[in-house]
Structure 1
Amino acid sequence: METPVESPSSWGCEHLIDRILIPADVLQRRIAELGAQISRDYAGKDLVLVCVLKGGVMFLTDLMRHITVPHEIDFMAITSYGIGARQSTGVVRILMDLQTNIEGRHVLIVEDIVDSGRTLDHILRLLWTRNPATLRVCALLDKRARREIQVPLDYVGFEIPNVFVFGYGLDLDEKFRNIPFIAVLKADALEE
């Protein structure tokens, strides 16, 4: 039986959802596991978490609650999507850069989803020029079927099929980021 928080009707999006791909409790359990692993791997290190906006905010917030080593956070806003677009344009633009000096520090990029790999490749190439001690990636979702550029993913929450997903930070036309689960968009909704 669905709990109210898991019910699409509670969020006003039931007409858009084909199915719930990852329920909230499964998400939270996996995020706790990732946080524990990151805590072990970065024990005694100067850690900076770099969240890729906007989609990574919910993931970062929950993940950092499970990271027990002291760390800083910073944000980057990068896009390869046009306004209202559901497909990448392939052109990566930086909208907001880091405020933190990462030279000599251990940097972990926190990303909501990696599909083509173009955006993440751009971020990695840019941040390596700033001489971090290490540069690794934690992605909540890995959509390998769409990969055009191979990028290293050090921590992965879930590998997902080639479907359009939204919720838990991922948007549908800038809406529904607040849904606590990850849903698959109905095929006919893609055409709307």
Structure 2
Amino acid sequence: MAGSSEKAPDSGRGVVLLDNWPGYDLDLFTYPQHYYGDLECVFIPHGIIVDRIERLAKDIMKDIGCHDILVLCVLKGGYKFCADLVEHLKNISRNSDRFVSMKVDFIRLKSYKNDRSMGELQIIGDEDLSTLTGKNVLIVEDVVGTGRTMKALLSSIEKYKPNMVKIASLLVKRTARSDSFRPDYAGFEIPDVFVVGYALDYNEYFRDLNHICVINEHGKEKYRI
């Protein structure tokens, strides 16, 4: 990315955006007018996100395409990433020698209020994780930050003895609070900035933004609860 990315050493790290990555000027892109004044920059343009997800799908099918897969989408922020990833996985499967059966299930988690982690995981609703027993599970998440949320979810899932669990996260944040947890597949490794768009939200706003952008202080205050 314009001199501020490195070649990723493995799928678990992804495309690395350095701490000094300034993003792109908002005037170079189109985005919803109702968010004018609320954003600092376009951090990752939509087209680059889509291309990276296509490559992730190829990596996933190469590793686990010999198994039928149950995709567990973490709502709400993961729904767009999951939909695009599954579409690519299906396309690869249709054009391969062996058709891979894929089912999609959903789980909703909540761990943020405003731009702060609440420090504990909330599983919202009555999801029956027993359906994961004996399955090859691919968890699809929007962001891995400290890793605590994903570790808590894995702990809940492992009680039901799935055959295999892999994790794909669109973003991994470099943060001092991290416990070094890494997903099996990562789209982008980014600095510890609060990003929105591509279904990532700030108090339910910005999900309709196609690009991944950095929210500014005005935007945080405007939509604070």
1:109 aligned partner: 139
Q: How many matched pairs?
A: 187
Bigger RCO (CA 8 Å, 6+ sep): 2
2:105 aligned partner: 74
Question: Runs of 5+ in structure 1 lacking a partner?
Answer: none
1:47 aligned partner: 69
Q: Is the 8 A contact 2:111 2:149 kept in 1?
A: yes
SS in 2 for 1:58: helix
Instruction: State the distance in 1 between where 2:37 and 2:212 align.
Output: 15
1:38 aligned partner: 60
Q: Is the 8 A contact 1:164 1:185 kept in 2?
A: yes
Give the residue type in structure 2 aligned to 1:79. Answer: K
Q: Which stretch shifts more, 105-114 or 33-42? A: 33-42
Deviation per CA, 1:68-101: give whole Å up to 9, x if none.
232111111111224xx22111021111324662
Give the residue type in structure 1 aligned to 2:102. Answer: H
Question: Runs of 5+ in structure 2 lacking a partner?
Answer: 1-24, 94-99
Query: Cα offset for 1:106?
Result: 1.0
Q: Is the 8 A contact 2:146 2:181 kept in 1?
A: no
Q: 1:147 to 1:65 in 2, by over 3 A?
A: farther
Which of 71, 89, 104 is the aligned partner of 2:118?
89
1:64 aligned partner: 86
Instruction: State the distance in 2 between where 1:22 and 1:51 align.
Output: 22
1:149 aligned partner: 179
1:129 aligned partner: 159
1:175 aligned partner: 205
Q: 1:100 to 1:72 in 2, by over 3 A?
A: farther
Query: Cα offset for 1:149?
Result: 2.9
Which of structures 1 and 2 has the bigger CA Rg? 2
2:191 aligned partner: 161
Query: Cα offset for 1:44?
Result: 2.4
Give the residue type in structure 1 aligned to 2:201. Answer: D
Instruction: State the distance in 1 between where 2:210 and 2:88 align.
Output: 17
Instruction: State the distance in 1 between where 2:33 and 2:141 align.
Output: 24
SS in 2 for 1:151: coil
Query: Cα offset for 1:6?
Result: 3.6
How many percent identity over aligned positions?
Answer: 34
Instruction: State the distance in 2 between where 1:99 and 1:130 align.
Output: 7
Deviation per CA, 1:27-57: give whole Å up to 9, x if none.
0000110111112222220211101100000
Q: 1:6 to 1:99 in 2, by over 3 A?
A: farther
Q: TM-score, normalised by structure 1?
A: 0.89
2:42 aligned partner: 20
Instruction: State the distance in 2 between where 1:100 and 1:70 align.
Output: 19
